[in-house]
Structure 1
Amino acid sequence: MTAKLDARARAADLLDGSGAFAEPWMRSAFLAVARHRFVADTVWIEEPAGYHPFTRSADPARWLSLVYDPREALVTQVDDGLDPSCAPGRMPTSSISALNAVFTMLAESDLHPGHQVLEIGSGTGYNAALLAERAGPGRVTTVEIDPAVCEQARAALAATGYEQVSVICADGELGYSPHSPYDRVLSTAAVLAIPYPWIEQTRPGGLIVTPWRTAFCNHGLARLTVHDDGTASGHFAGAMTFMALRGQRPRTAISELYSAERWEHARSSSLAPADLVARLDDPHAAFAIGLRLPGVSHWAQEGHWWCSNDSWAHADDEGTVRQWGPRDLATETSTALEAWRADGCPTLFDYGLTVTKHGSTMWLGEPGHPIP
């Protein structure tokens, strides 16, 4: 027990030193909730060949260090429930979020005692316990789509004294109307589009805080205020990367579009500008490009790849581009980058989002300046 308390105290000091505790209640809540009691004995560690299971019994000290690492999330499920004996896993599908990310979201939520809170994505249940520490007993509803993950969260919350948190096994995109209206809706999964039920179930003046992404760029944090007219709007509040909501996982068509024959017949050119790929390391540039290239994915793997629903492109380390399909994705990326520069290289904090029941609009600065 001493080792666990020491690990929690050290993590608290590190978080405090980095300014993660924006308000005193956050440090108190962190010290009150035993994070290690929400993490299963088996977690998953990323290695070159994929995700491999790691058990607490194999190295209790390392397991505890992973649980209380302030900067890194800890994967608790891969491939929607792969049996550890079938490792390695390919894709992380549930985790306990990094502590600095947890408290960034809590700070943006402006949570107060008595607030009615809906959490999308229960995960381990740890975040719901922190929410309950602030909002109070019977004020938190958390929704989890995976039955096994849901049951584990419910058991962990009950075992740690948070049995008054309502744990619902359901699709979080639909919210949970029986306990609405909510003062705060927080999602621990990233969305490509804000589900409108979240807005419908939030009081006017209430907040929705959720990780948000494009197919191109996987980081962003939306903070939206719900209005009397049934819309919600607000600026982006940070650059955070979370797993995607299951019903909104980005899917690339590369496996259907790519073939060795198409590679041989692909158009070849030089990357323009030559440092285009390097510029994508700027998170603000990548965010802005993603807004202007809806549905276009980008990833680094033996060079850099782009893919839309009907085209792909690849740039190697020497700046040679090969492209197949009707679109010129490398040039489109360059054009989007130049548009961002023409706007004065705004940060992602300068962008915002308005959501109605008919869809959403991205804007720069103010809602009256939509992104073309």
Structure 2
Amino acid sequence: MEPDFTALSAQAADDLDGLGAFARPWLRRAFEAVPRHAFIPDTVWVEDGGGYRAFGRTDDPRRWAALAYDPRDGLVTQVDDGRTLAGGIGTLPTCSISAPNAVLNMLAEAELRTSGTVLEIGTGTGYNAALIAQRVGGDRLVTVEIDEALHAGARAALTAAGCEDVTAVHADGEAGHPPRAPYDRVLSTAAVLAVPYAWVEQTRTGGLILTPYRTAFCSHGLARLTVEDGRASGRFAGAMTFMTVRGQRPRSPIGDLFTDETWRQARESAPDGGPDHLALTDPHAAFAIGLRLPGVAHWEQGDGHWWCGPDSWAYATGESVYQWGPRDLYDETRAAADWWRDKGRPSLFDFGLTVTEGGQTVWLGDPGCPLL
């Protein structure tokens, strides 16, 4: 039996209303007007024991439909840049339809105007573009997708949903889309470690750039930047985790740096307070530490913690710390955590970012107070 998508959409709308997701009245109208399930491929990917396995709509139509309209969770729609097909096990999610709650919160931050022009980076399934088109009109929206197969699927879904006037472009979104610039809003649905200056150049004076932002250390952040005089500047507006644009995916060199030889050479010491002292479980602390230690990745494995930078690594358990390379990454993390405490435990929202042609600067409280 075909699921009742109308009922599922209505229930999801009520749930989202309870979560405060409709911060602007137009958002509920758009959510109800755009059939979310029409932008989800028949085959999605669900996490299974450390990997991703394909789950088909025909396998369990009711479950597929319930997943499609879950207000809090997204769905992975591609793994490994499309190289892994149904029947295989995927390792890296590379496209998703984000959770409705996250999508709506981000669109609320964008403050879209009916007369505004929008450049969207990362078409993905096309669902976000369809929502934006409900607000500004398809003829005022350009959406760019780097993956050819995703671009083709999204364009077909947009056309089927009556959004054929949206300009869907197959290109690298880091370069923007100069032919239709300047834009009132540049919205990225993929995270960046560095905001491309092309986005600044293509945003109208007084316009906004809204993009998920991450560091190698911490995966969550949302930058909301106003463009003036050839620069973009603003505070972080939220803690959202999105996939990273393909050209900026962090690539850890741990596989090259960590060897039997470097393990034998590692400097061993006592943890002196243990990982808890590093405040790694506090999302605001993790965000601040990531800003203080650019290029340094951190992850947990079992009961231990790993760090890796371009030329150094560290590993810590409750009993010992091992560090190798010219940098002591465990000690640097501890110093960054102490800095965060000394500053009064600032939240993610207290930090900001300024982007110029010469690069980007992160700051605390005021653009005149750079972190590094």
What TM-score range do you get, normalising by the shorter chain? Answer: over 0.9
Correspondence for 2:27 = 26
Provide the rounded CA distance (Å) in 2 between the counterparts of 1:337 and 1:296.
14
* CA contact 1:258–1:312 (8 Å) conserved in 2: yes
Correspondence for 1:364 = 364
* Identity over aligned pairs, percent: 61
Classify the secondary structure of the residue corresponding to 2:4: helix
Correspondence for 2:37 = 36
Q: Please show how residues 1-372 of structure 1 align to structure 2 within 5 Å.
A: 3-85=4-86, 87-227=88-228, 229-276=229-276, 279-302=279-302, 303-316=304-317, 318-372=318-372
How high is the TM-score relative to the length of structure 2? 0.97
* CA contact 2:352–2:362 (8 Å) conserved in 1: yes
Aligned length, in residue pairs: 370
* CA contact 1:272–1:334 (8 Å) conserved in 2: no
Q: In 2 relative to 1, CA 277–47 (structure 1 residues): closer, same or farther, beyond 3 Å? A: farther
> For structure 2, which runs of at least 5 residues remain unmatched after alignment?
none
* CA contact 1:52–1:84 (8 Å) conserved in 2: no
Deviation at residue 85 of structure 1 after TM alignment: 4.1
Letter of the 1:161 partner, please give it: G
Deviation at residue 110 of structure 1 after TM alignment: 0.4
Provide the rounded CA distance (Å) in 2 between the counterparts of 1:322 and 1:190.
31
Letter of the 1:160 partner, please give it: A
Classify the secondary structure of the residue corresponding to 2:82: coil
Classify the secondary structure of the residue corresponding to 1:133: helix
* CA contact 1:304–1:315 (8 Å) conserved in 2: yes
Deviation at residue 193 of structure 1 after TM alignment: 0.4
Provide the rounded CA distance (Å) in 1 between the counterparts of 2:196 and 2:133.
24
The one-character-per-residue Cα deviations of 1:53-101 (angstroms, maximum 9, x if unpaired) are 0000000111011111111121000000024245101100001011111
Letter of the 2:299 partner, please give it: W
Deviation at residue 217 of structure 1 after TM alignment: 0.6
| Runs of 4 or more above 6 Å deviation | none
Deviation at residue 261 of structure 1 after TM alignment: 2.9
The one-character-per-residue Cα deviations of 1:294-316 (angstroms, maximum 9, x if unpaired) are 11010112321100011101112
* CA contact 2:77–2:96 (8 Å) conserved in 1: yes
Provide the rounded CA distance (Å) in 1 between the counterparts of 2:112 and 2:102.
16
Provide the rounded CA distance (Å) in 1 between the counterparts of 2:118 and 2:194.
20
C-alpha RMSD of the superposition: 1.2
Classify the secondary structure of the residue corresponding to 1:58: coil
Classify the secondary structure of the residue corresponding to 1:84: coil
Deviation at residue 212 of structure 1 after TM alignment: 0.3
Letter of the 2:121 partner, please give it: I
> For structure 1, which runs of at least 5 residues remain unmatched after alignment?
none
* CA contact 1:276–1:334 (8 Å) conserved in 2: no
Letter of the 1:18 partner, please give it: L
Letter of the 1:253 partner, please give it: P
